[in-house]
Structure 1
Amino acid sequence: MKSLLRQLLLMTAVVSTPLAADTLADIPLADEITLSEQALQLNGAGIRSKFFMDLYVGSLYTQSPSQTLDSVLNAPRVAIRLNIVSGMITSEKMQDAIIDGFDDATDGQSQTIQPQIDAFMALFSAPIAQGDQFTLEAIKDLGVTAYKNGEKQATVEDEAFRKALLKIWLGDKPAQKSLKRAMLGK
């Protein structure tokens, strides 16, 4: 009986031990990032693929573990990081995908945040290359600050915009369901 109990305890310890971040699609994943002097922990990461091609690695960073959309939306600060792994992604394709994402995230009602979407889309007007990294820092009641390759680009202020942006990857109609599950650590 003691042997069985010991085995169960060992199995529980192995299952509940968090795994250290490593790499995904040859992209090193940081266990922690610091934005605006605030540390965020890797919550989960996955690969966005289409037609059997890996496009980017999407990572979610949070202050505390979050496994639901509501917990992410209600968190004071989170970040989504996109590491481009395909040379097939162009500025135009990224813009089209983001426009479709906002449409899905708002159930076709994106007109109320259209000025913010337009400002955000300007961030993707420059060429995008394999190896580029976009970090989207979402701060509750403020908006989203975007970074490209570690350099701050702009802040788009608006709470409804912030929520819609997060829903592109984590909402009811995400960019990819398996990516959503992975980012939420499921």
Structure 2
Amino acid sequence: MKNLILAFIAVAILGLDFSYAQTKIGDVKFPTTFKAGDTELHLNGGGIRKKLFIDVYVEGLYLPKSTKDGNAISKANEPQNVRIVITSSLVNSNNFIESTKEGFQKSTAGNTKPIQEKIDKFLKLFLKYAIAKGDVYDLTFLPMEGVKVYRNHQYVDVIPGLDFKTALYGIWLGSNPVDAKLKAGLLGQ
């Protein structure tokens, strides 16, 4: 009994919070839940984006309920979140933008014209706020608002439309993703 009391005192003094569960993806810890508007989302899966054998970023996908259908996730008109944590100092705004442009080309089968203004607005955010190792980006979709962009937990801007969200999430989850292993990880496979 004495040991139990000492354990409770130690927890109280150290301020440990066991209710904040996390999952480690690569070297990055992701919370198992994420609040998008009034909806609590759950970590569906995650993975590491590699380019030329370099870990570029770690990504986690948060959904209202677990699923393994990437196309359905991309097209779903429901709260969702993609969290990206930059893990390489070699990543900068310019190469991130170029890589993302390529991703949009793959996601839309080369037909970016209907959403090009939205893509341009989105990409300009990464020039306005230079990318650095350790940055955390949340791309939170809310049906009546669009994709809300957060950098290091600070709101940056919103890009409206399910069409934009479908193309953006399709970069990682569509039928022609930028990284098949990353897609499998996001889908929890």
**Higher alpha-carbon deviation: 93-102 or 62-71:** 62-71
**2:66 paired residue number:** 65
CA contact (8 A) 1:133 1:149 kept: yes
**2:178 paired residue number:** 175
Letter of the 1:33 partner, please give it. F
**1:5 paired residue number:** none
Q: Deviation at 1:24?
A: 2.1
Partner-residue secondary structure (3-state), 1:154: strand
Query: Please, which runs of 5 or more residues in structure 2 have no aligned partner?
Result: 1-20
The alignment status of 1:83 with 2:97, answered yes or no, reads no
**Higher alpha-carbon deviation: 22-31 or 158-167:** 22-31
Q: Deviation at 1:130?
A: 0.6
**1:30 paired residue number:** 31
Query: Please, which runs of 5 or more residues in structure 1 have no aligned partner?
Result: 1-19
**2:110 paired residue number:** 108
**2:132 paired residue number:** 129
- TM-score of the superposition, structure 2-length normalised? 0.84
Work out the percentage of aligned pairs sharing the same amino acid. Answer: 31
Letter of the 1:105 partner, please give it. S
Letter of the 1:129 partner, please give it. A
Q: Deviation at 1:45?
A: 0.4
Aligned pair partner of 2:154 in 151, 156, 174: 151
Distance 1:28 1:96, change over 3 A: same
CA contact (8 A) 1:67 1:185 kept: yes
**Higher alpha-carbon deviation: 95-104 or 66-75:** 66-75
Distance 1:139 1:34 in 2: 11
State the Cα deviation string for residues 40-80 of structure 1 (Å, max 9, x = none): 10000000011221110011000100110243122511111
What is the aligned-residue RMSD (CA, Å)? Answer: 1.4
Distance 2:141 2:36 in 1: 10
CA contact (8 A) 2:36 2:79 kept: no
Distance 1:158 1:75 in 2: 10
Distance 1:51 1:97 in 2: 12
Distance 1:93 1:51 in 2: 13
Provide runs of 4+ in structure 1 moved above 6 Å: none
CA contact (8 A) 2:147 2:158 kept: yes
Partner-residue secondary structure (3-state), 1:95: helix
Distance 1:167 1:68, change over 3 A: same
State the Cα deviation string for residues 123-180 of structure 1 (Å, max 9, x = none): 1112111100000012336421110000111111122111100100101111200000
Q: Deviation at 1:38?
A: 2.4
CA contact (8 A) 1:83 1:132 kept: yes
Partner-residue secondary structure (3-state), 2:31: coil
Aligned residue pair count: 167
CA contact (8 A) 1:25 1:85 kept: no
